[in-house]
Amino acid sequence: MFTRGLWNLPTHGLRSHFDELDRMRRHLDQVFRQVEPSRFAGRGAGVFPLVNLTETAEAYVLRAELPGVAAENLDIQTMGRNITISGERMIEVEPSAKYHRRERESGRFSRAIALPGDIDRDRVSAVLKDGVLQVTIPKAEAAKPRKIEIK
């Protein structure tokens, strides 16, 4: 998270407690998002799939777990600083079979994520492998950190 630098103190015992708190907070965020999605997502955008967003000096990296979603059923678009992942997860149903468990969800999804900085739209790349989508979104030149030489 943004505050990760704070936890990088040489107190390993404490750190795991902070990690645990962090996870609890994320869990609560998710609960609130389900209860009141409009507060978190843009209009018309759902909360599936859950995403992880990270950054390096050069790019933003967006990941989502999309097991069983074929690349041809996935659509990724950028607009300004926003990226939208939409598609459909199709699950075949055996009509004559007797179902003991049916936990896997199917259906359409659309999720919009606002990136914190300007992006280089022309060089966005996406890989879907083992059910995990990874989108690499290079930062625009102006959004990259620049080291200032001290004369």
Partner 1 sequence: MTHHDEGKEIKVGKKQEVSGATEQTRSGLVFIPAVDIFETEHEINLMADMPGVKPDNVDIDLRENTLTIAGEITPFEEANEEDLLIEYEVGRYFRQFTIPELIDQGKIDARLSEGVLKLVLPKAEKAKPRKIEIRT
Closer residue to partner 1 in complex, CB, 35/150:
35
Buried b vs exposed e over 74-104: b needs ≥16 C-beta within 10 Å? bebebeebebbbbbebeeeeeeeeeeeeeee
Site string for partner 1, 81-120 (x = CB under 8 A): --------xxxxxxxxxxxxxxxxxxxxx---x--x----
* Cβ proximity to partner 1, 105 vs 150, nearer residue: 105
Q: CA Rg, the chain, in Å?
A: 19
* Tokens describing residue 151: 């004369």
- Smallest separation, CB 91 to partner 1 (Å): 7
> How far apart, in whole angstroms, are the C-alpha atoms of residue 58 and residue 44?
30
Residue 41 interacts with partner 1 (CB under 8 A): yes or no: no
Nearest approach in angstroms of CB 150 to partner 1 is 24
The C-alpha atoms of residue 28 and residue 16 are separated, in whole angstroms, by 18
Alpha-carbon gap, residue 7 to 30, rounded angstroms:
23
In the structure encoding, which two tokens stand for residue 129, read together?
Answer: 């492998």
Q: Confirm if 6 and 14 have CB atoms less than 8 A apart.
A: no
Which of 7, 63, 81, 112 binds partner 1 (CB under 8 A)? It is 63
Q: Please identify, using beta-carbon distances, which residue of 101 and 151 lies nearer to partner 1.
A: 101
Shortest distance (Å) from residue 83 CB to partner 1: 12
CB 33 within 8 A of CB 41: yes
Q: How far is the CB of 77 from partner 1 (least distance, A)?
A: 18
Interface residues with partner 1 (CB under 8 A) are 1-2, 4, 23, 26-27, 29-30, 33-34, 46-57, 60-61, 63, 65-70, 89-109, 113, 116, 128, 130-132, 134
